[in-house]
Chain A
Amino acid sequence: MLSVVVFLPVVVALALAALPATNSSRRFTVPWVLTGLVQLILVVVLWLGLPTSGYGFVEHVAWIPSAGISYHLGVDGISLPLVAMTIVVFTAAAVYSLREERRPKSYVMLFLALQAASVGVFVALDLILFFLFFDLSIVFMYFVIAGWGLGGRARSAALTFFLYTFLGSLALLLGFILIYLAATPHTFDIPALAAQNPLAAGGPVAGAALLAIGLGLAVKTPLVPFHTWLPPAHTEAPAAGSAVLAGVLLKMGTYGFVRIAMPVLPASWRQFAGVVVVLGVISVVYGALVALAQTDLKRMIAYTSVNHMGYVLLGVGAAGLVAQSDAQARQLATTGAVTQMVSHGLITGALFLLAGALHERGRTYDMGAYGGLAARTPRFAGLFAVAAFASLGLPGFSGFIAEFQIFTGALGATPVATAIAVVGILITAGLFLVALSRMLLGELRYPDAPGTPRPFPDLRARELAATVPLLLLATVIGVVPRFLLDLVEPASRVVNELVAR
């Protein structure tokens, strides 16, 4: 079942490969959308059938037994929401790209491959399998940015992205090997390693393993100061690529902390939880402040991603401060962190697609070039305002459910850091309100094409169909979060117990 969910896009991509490469994009994009919808149906089945404890829908086949590597898939309450979010974001990107005109065949095939790799990361229960999917996602994203980038520096930004994150993944591999060597019998199997806890005593090897893994994941997340690949990659990437990059690929980093670093290296996690908290808070405040200074819409959203991922680190770091807080507080912090991953994927995906729609009309991301759009394009203005308010953590949207739990759970363990991090939601409020005032309010203003006024229509059905479901889901989670939290809470309790042992 899980293999079907993971590899369905690959099968579809191979089938599409047989078609001749024409410019009629629908022939390729429609199957992509349908693939996502089928995957979503399968995810609903998984959701309904997930066992209340442990991993569900496990597939375990020996792969390279001599090296302790197996093809091991499974989902729990932490990975399934991320799988669902991944497919939703990809499907939204597919709907948005329905009329992609530039080499639609390779575009769709590349995205389908990326989709398979992304889902694969979240269901892999073997470190090497995880690493494989993790790296493949980097490779495919490189081609998306380099091949379909909008700006003149797309290739250079893509190369920076690739080298930077690839370097990070090498550190990750090094950490995996250290854990492998410490385990007896040697294995890369995540549940087995979590049960065995090979580095329970802590010490320098465990610290080195956490450092290597942490470095690899910090680059992908990205945490300050390893974030600088993110803004150029986003600025140059096509809208659908940005939505997937921010919505899905960043989560691979934070997911790695919850799935691998916390359960497999609990002793070191507890030892260095304070460092994690500090890194998280720095990302929160730094990301928000630098975003505040941006005039380019996409760069601004990119930096808010740094800010939002900082909250996740604050949450998982506070969950490691076992001595300072009770089980309920740690439970809130971890659950909030997982909720934040899902929430950020949906909201930032929508923001980037809306930014893409704006670029299609005005050919620039410079916020100063636009003004008074509320009067001209009310649908765009309304949706952008909703997405902005969702992103700044307004109650009623998923971000609040996440951030409230993180703050409330973390305050007892680390009051000063949390008090500093809370300021982040004020700065994001400020930067989004400034952006809204600039672009939506005041006198009508948008860039003219050379010589003639540009048509500047409101959002079309395709763009609405891509963004409205994302924001609707963020609202549903914000208003009735139990359906999600019922799934996340048991799984995060397991993680917390593994950390605290």
Chain B
Amino acid sequence: MSVLLAALLLVPLVGGVALIVVRPPRGSVLAGLVIAAATVSLAVGAALRHPHGRLSLFDGVGAGFAVDDLSAVMVVLVAVALLAVLAFAAGEPALASGRFVGLMLVFAGAMLATVTATTLPPLLAAWEVMGAVSWALIAHHTGDPAAAGGARSAFLTTRAADLGLYLAAGAVLAGGVPSLSIDALPAVAGGWQDLAVAGIVIAALGKSAQLPFSFWLSGAMHGPSPVSALLHSATMVAAGAYLLLRTTAGLQATGWAGPLVAWIGVGTALLLGLVALAQSDLKQLLAASTSAQIGFMVLAAGVGAFPGGVLQTVAHAATKSLLFLVAGAWLVRVGSRRLDGLRGAARRHPVLGAAFSVGAVTLAGVPPTGLWVSKDAILASAAASGLALYIVGLAAGLVAAGYATKALWFVWRPSPATVDDSTVGRAGMRVQAVVAVALAVAAAVSGLLALGPDVLRPAPEPTVLELLLSGAVAVIGVGVTWRVAGRLPAPAALLSWLHLEQVARAAVVRPTVRLAALLARGDDLFHHRVVLGIGRGAVRSAHAVDRHVERGLDRGVDDLAAGARALGRTARRPQTGQLHQYYAQAAVGFGVLAALAVLLIGVS
């Protein structure tokens, strides 16, 4: 195991666990920043050196880790996002606890392990730890029941999908790949390959909040904003897209998985885009937009647009962490997450407002920002797979321009007459401004990465016509939405995230709970009636034996004894002690004997 790789994984994980356990009263934030900074440098080192290592885990199955081209991009992305988010969160005193900072570090550390794992067991392990930590982070404000509900929904939904990975591991083994190596997916034999790929696809769709699992992201919005910033950018939801990009060869090998994944991705991009457009709460809007934007990455994996997907991941991570961090900062300052309540927020907080605007324009896919480039890189490959995919993808791009503009329009409206913004410490404000501006620059120029290394260089390259078309679509979307942003319809189906949560509750949760209650009652009945009944029956039959058989016997013995006693009493009566009576008895006796003798002689 390479030292560099081990350090990259262990520094955030061990540091985070130490902070959670020790919970130092002061200095947690500083310690977290130091650890995050160290992680960034380790990630950069790992990206350059491409280390790999393998530990023995189970019989014939190793825990392999490696940094290849894809992982190199991901580890740097995760580490930088972690540092940015922790630096920004340092401005919020409510999030200065060792528990919070430690959990964030473990969260990011688990993502680092996910993106460097080369065999299924460590991938699944890190993947699930990430889900559990997301539970603790979303429920960070322990007194808030809505946060508890959101956290539960997030963990249970993603874990339901994770079951696919458990099955995939078994299928890969049964299909003749004893090492459980992820890259060996195309080599898995027969029907086991279909099962393995299906499992991986389901797990990835769940983690990435794609249809039909999207609803958990809505509940997750009850967590602190920096959590959302990290969860929506480089970790958790990005993990699903990453896994699909990692296994594109496996998806293609089955024949059915590629098109299925592509359609789910583009469908999520369109439908969740519409959901985002209907929201009146900034965090909900951003959350739905995450599902939609990840949909493009999933589409990329489905059509084999590997570099485009990676590019989209990077550009989206910068954009979305920026938008969530600013939304969180406004939540603290303005005290509202409703779009209506945020009117004029960008005017009153110009630096944050400018950064937010750059982020929103990027999210809209307006040229020349990062998401414009990455989306076109993906759509170019989609067009090669089929015109329908391309057209739906373009429509999703139009909707993206719409929801981004809607958010932008509200925060640039004139402020209401009375404004009651709270103030934030000066040092925290400066750090937040620096982080926001840096992320805005990153979001805007991330398209340049397309000219960089192979892993980010689109193939096939989008044509000039395609680039112009999608750019025009974005600009038109922005222009139209800017005019109608205040009076967009919000149908109930879209406002409630397509009723997905209600459907899941009605179709899965409630029947399960009802069945559980039924079984529990039956179990009690079985114990009390049958098990204890057998015991009671035994006691009852013992009583019956006692009453009827035992007492009968007892009485028989008693009667026998009484009879013997009576005989004894009778036998005592002749013994009077008076001689004349004995003579009389003897005379009677002899008389009887004589009569008997006569009788016997007579007979013979």
Contact A411–B163 (Cβ < 8 Å): no
Q: A335-B59, A442-B148 are known contacts. Are A412 and B527 too (CB-CB below 8 A)?
A: no
Within 8 A of B (CB), among A187-227: 225
CB neighbours of B527 from chain A (8 A): 228, 231-232
Contact partners of B135 in chain A: CB under 8 A: 433
Q: Is A426 an interface residue (CB 8 A)?
A: yes
Interface locus among A72-80, A240-248, A284-292? A284-292
> With A and B bound together, what is the CA distance between A405 and B155 in angstroms?
23
Q: Which of A163, A225, A289 counts the most B-chain CB atoms under 10 A from its CB?
A: A289
Q: Which of A228, A396, A422 contacts B531 (CB 8 A)?
A: A228
Closest to A419 in B: B167
Determine if B159 and A426 form an interchain contact, defined as CB atoms under 8 angstroms apart.
Answer: yes
Q: Is A425 close to B, CB under 8 A?
A: yes
For window 408-449 of A, CB contacts with B under 8 Å fall at: 408-412, 415, 418-419, 422-423, 425-427, 429-430, 433-434, 437, 440-443
Of all chain A residues, which has the CB nearest B192? A412
Using known A-B contacts A328-B59, A404-B121, determine if residue A437 contacts B170 with beta carbons closer than 8 Å.
no
Known: A412-B170, A412-B174. A289 touches B512 (CB 8 A): yes
**CB-CB < 8 A to A407: which residues of B?**
166-167, 169-170
B125 A395 Cβ-Cβ under 8 A: yes
Is A408 a contact of B173 with CB atoms below 8 Å? yes
| Given A332-B58, A426-B156, A408 contacting B169 (CB threshold 8 A) | yes
Cβ contact of A429, chosen from B144, B156, B513, cutoff 8 A: B156
Q: Is the Cβ of B156 less than 8 Å from the Cβ of A433?
A: yes
Contacts of A418 in B (CB 8 A): 167, 170
Flag whether A106 is at the interface (Cβ < 8 A).
Answer: no
Q: Is the CB of A404 within 8 A of B513?
A: no
Q: Does A103 contact B (CB under 8 A)?
A: no
A160 at the interface (CB under 8 A from B): yes
A3 on the B face (CB < 8 A): no
Distance to closest chain A CB from B512 (angstroms):
7
CB distance from B207 to the nearest CB of A (A): 14
By a CB distance below 8 angstroms, the chain A residues around B515 are: 289
The segment from A44-52, A128-136, A481-489 that touches chain B is A481-489
In contact, A442 and B121 (Cβ under 8 angstroms)? no
Is there an interface contact between B163 and A423, defined as CB atoms closer than 8 Å?
Answer: yes
B126 within 8 A of A: yes
Interface centre among B57, B192, B516 (most CB of A within 10 A): B516
Q: Which residues of B contact A481 (CB under 8 A)?
A: 57-58
Which residues from A are CB-within-8-Å of B173? 328-329, 332, 408-409, 411-412
- Inter-chain residue pair count (beta carbon < 8 A): 151
Q: How far is the CA of A297 from the CA of B451 in the complex (A)?
A: 59
Docked CA distance A482–B128 (Å): 21
A418 CA / B192 CA spacing, docked (Å): 14
Q: A293-B516, A335-B58 are in contact. Are A228 and B523 (CB under 8 A)?
A: yes
Taking a contact as CB atoms closer than 8 A, the residue among A395, A437, A443 that contacts B128 in the complex is A395
Fill in one digit per residue for A358-397: 1 if any B CB lies within 8 Å of its CB, else 0: 0000000000000010110000000001000100001110
Given the complex of chains A and B, what is the CA–CA distance between A492 and B482 in angstroms?
A: 68
Task: Give Cα A147 to B301, complex, Å.
Answer: 64
B129 and A395 within 8 A (CB): yes
Docked pose: A408 CA to B532 CA in angstroms: 39
The listed residue (B192, B195, B512) touching A292 by CB distance below 8 A is B512
With a cutoff of 8 Å between Cβ atoms, the chain B residues found around residue A32 in the complex are: none
Please report which residues of chain B, range 156-202, place their CB below 8 angstroms from some CB of chain A when the two chains form the complex: 156, 159-160, 163, 166-167, 169-171, 173-174, 178, 180, 192, 195
Q: Tell whether A257 is near chain B: CB-to-CB under 8 Å.
A: no
Nearest chain A residue, comparing its CB with the CB of B521 = A293
- A489 in contact with B531 given A412-B170, A418-B170, A425-B163 (CB within 8 Å): no
Inter-chain contacts of B136 with A (CB < 8 A): 385
When the two chains form their complex, are residues A411 and B142 in contact, meaning their CB atoms are under 8 A apart?
no
User: What distance in Å separates the Cβ of A138 from its nearest Cβ neighbour in chain B?
Assistant: 16
Partner of A331, one of B59, B129, B145, B170: B59
Given contacts A372-B143, A375-B143, contact A394 B148 (CB under 8 A): no
30 inter-chain pairs at a CB distance below 8 angstroms, sorted by A residue, are: A228-B526, A289-B520, A292-B512, A293-B517, A325-B174, A331-B60, A335-B58, A375-B143, A385-B136, A394-B128, A395-B129, A405-B58, A407-B169, A407-B170, A408-B180, A411-B170, A412-B171, A415-B170, A422-B166, A426-B156, A426-B163, A427-B512, A433-B135, A434-B152, A441-B143, A441-B144, A443-B145, A481-B58, A482-B57, A485-B58
What are the 7 A-B residue pairs with the smallest beta carbon separation, nearest first? A411-B170, A412-B174, A395-B125, A293-B520, A228-B527, A293-B516, A292-B516
Q: Which residues of B contact A (CB under 8 A)?
A: 56-61, 121, 124-126, 128-129, 132, 135-136, 139, 142-145, 147-149, 151-152, 155-156, 159-160, 163, 166-167, 169-171, 173-174, 178, 180, 192, 195, 512-513, 515-517, 519-520, 523, 526-527, 531-532, 535
